[in-house]
Amino acid sequence: MRVEFADSMIKFADSHPQMVFITGDLGYMALEKVQHKLGDKFINAGVAEQNMVTVGAALAHEGFIPWLYSISPFVTLRPYEQIRNDACLHDLPVKLVGNGGGYGYGIMGATHHNIEDIGALRLLPNMRVYVPFTASDVEQSIEQMLADPHPNYLRLNQGAKIKYDVAPFSQWRKIKSGTKGTVVGTGPVVENICNLDIAADLEIWVVSIFPINNVPVGLIESINATQKLITIEEHSGECGLRETLSYHIMNHLNGPLKMLALSANGYPSGKYGDQKFHQAENNLGGEGLNQQLLSFL
Amino acid sequence: MEKSVQQDLLNKAFSIKKRFLGMYKAANAGHVGCSLSVAEIITFVRFNWMKDNDEIILSKGHAAASIYSMLAEEGILTEDDIKTFYKNNTYLAAHPPVNKIKRVPFATGSLGHGLSIAAGLGLAQKLKNSDKKVFCITSDGEINEGSTWEAALFIAHHNLKNVVWLVDRNKLQGFGRTEDVMKLDPLDKKLEAFGFNVVMAEGHNFISLEKAKDKTLSSDIPTAIICDTTKGRGWKLYEDKLDSHYLPMKDVHYDEILADVETDYKTQISKL
């Protein structure tokens, strides 16, 4: 999604002259064209994310729309108090962009992963978290973020590639119908279920903006019909999709419900590998995911 | 500095101090010494330096009463507003609030944010070709924060001369003296090494602050003014003591401080 992100920055720069791009010293072989396009409105703030976020908040106070870019944990968890105090409490349109949400940085190791970002940010006042599903979601999500007057966080990853048609970017999207179980997932990891044979029998939904609200009637109906709910997220289940969705559907259930919550549980073996390795270790992909679904259904 | 200007500043500083001392007394609140430390700096910046559309960031938000009192002095807050300080249902919390008061663009109180706020506001003016200035008053203790140094690097690198950093150098922090907790000195050399035009000033002396202003205006690089101050100045019992940071004033103290502040004011006026 990094390519699509950079292309979108260039595309929207002319129509949104208040855009300022600040990178935390990242962007080699990715942001050079953005730098060229934005000129003096492209700033490398160095490896100093706390200052970067507050500078962004101050720019937003003065009418700019700052895009603050780094590897996901460095632009979210490192400057967390700056995000809360200076961007969110003041409800300023600061746009955080974290590359490699979840296990996206693979073999780079745990310090470069982020399985807490959605939970950490969605609870901050005024913040809205955008989680694109496919690569083509990126431009649409950025367009929506530009129109969103609140602080935002964009979680970038490898875009999902699936055989089903995907509707334009929105908070809730139904990917396909099914009767044996209802899947609700966030981010490209949902692809791992979509591409299994068992997906033929499942109804699959993707949620792409947090915090969630107004769960669609169609999704509630599916959950009540299948009475089997599967959540999948490349994120900790604690404070993640499984928790917030559970709360939002609880008062709409008309019968018993079984739930399988698939989430990122860190590093079960203590070993490292690529993104697929970590997904497999957490039953978010590969045969482990398939077996989990088969035994649950 | 002309005598009339000096007299006006002394009058205003005296009024500001009297007002916030009354606020602290009515609230039975601490942080008295923090405001006494910075009172003349705030008075000088607001009434003898900044223009109406310039920004002043009080990074040491725990001295909020001094800013509230300054805002009452210029009519932005009313005396009725001032009476709500520390009470339930007030905007005037112990630290500056979010998005509620003119001339307080950002809530402060968590230390180490203010200089980055000033850096961002300064950068924004540069991008907009605006001549607006940003004055940022930090404590010395908050220079412990890494974010302060991040901001210092940023301001110097981008040559944000429109940012003026004033350090309230009273040499006391939360639980000890700055040089005992985590050595700051030689602060001047450190800030020079970071790329600042460093100016030393007596932080309770308007003539000294005026000279610092002149040295700032003639500089080609951003300026940091290290203001030598005394925490709790005027509270003789706790002057230059940590107690003045935390303790509220007893009745007898309040009377003594008011008398001392007034004596100091009259002495300075008589020397003009």
Task: Give the pLDDT confidence of B164-210 residue by residue, as tens digits.
Answer: 999 999 999 999 999 999 999 999 999 999 999 999 999 999 999 99
Domain match, A14 and A135 both? yes
Q: Is the residue at A37 inside a domain?
A: yes
Residues of chain A with C-beta less than 8 angstroms from the C-beta of B121: 58, 61-62
pLDDT along chain A (297 residues), means of 10: 95 97 95 96 98 98 98 98 98 98 95 97 98 97 98 96 96 98 98 96 98 96 98 96 96 96 97 97 97 97
B117 touches chain A (CB under 8 A): yes
Domain match, A120 and A246 both? no
- Rounded Cα gap, residues A263 and A33, in angstroms: 36
Which pLDDT does position B152 carry in this prediction? 98
Q: Is the residue at A166 inside a domain?
A: no
Domain match, A213 and A106 both? no
3-state SS track over A114-130: ECCHHHHHHCCCCCEEE
Exposed, middle or buried, A64 (CB in 10 Å: 0-12/13-18/19+)?
Answer: buried
Tell me if B124 and A59 make a contact (CB, 8 A cut-off): yes
Q: Is the residue at A148 inside a domain?
A: yes
Domain match, A105 and A7 both? yes
Domain match, A179 and A290 both? yes
Tell me if B150 and A41 make a contact (CB, 8 A cut-off): no
Query: Which chain A residue's Cα is nearest to B134?
Result: A58
Which pLDDT does position A213 carry in this prediction? 87
A125 touches chain B (CB under 8 A): no
Number of domains in chain B: 1
Query: Quick check: A263 and A257 in contact, CB under 8 A?
Result: no
Tell me if A61 and B116 make a contact (CB, 8 A cut-off): no
Residues making up chain A, counted from first to last: 297
Which pLDDT does position B99 carry in this prediction? 83
CATH of residue A236's domain is 3.40.50.920
Domain match, A62 and A126 both? yes
- Residues B219-224 have a mean pLDDT of 98
Q: Is the residue at A275 inside a domain?
A: yes
Number of domains in chain A: 2
DSSP secondary structure string for all residues of A218-233: HHHHHHHHH-EEEEEE
Tell me if A62 and B125 make a contact (CB, 8 A cut-off): yes
- Rounded Cα gap, residues A7 and A1, in angstroms: 10
CATH of residue A112's domain is 3.40.50.970
Domain match, A23 and A143 both? yes
Domain match, A266 and A177 both? yes
Tell me if B106 and A64 make a contact (CB, 8 A cut-off): no
Domain match, A97 and A215 both? no
Range of the domain at B33: 3-270
Domain match, A136 and A206 both? no
A51 touches chain B (CB under 8 A): yes
Domain boundary among A97, A125, A156: A156
Which pLDDT does position A282 carry in this prediction? 98
Domain match, A141 and A219 both? no
Domain boundary among A156, A186, A204: A156
Range of the domain at A248: 172-296
CATH of residue B254's domain is 3.40.50.970
Residues of chain A with C-beta less than 8 angstroms from the C-beta of B118: 58
Number of CB pairs, chain A paired with chain B, less than 8 A apart: 87
What ipTM does the predicted assembly reach? 0.94
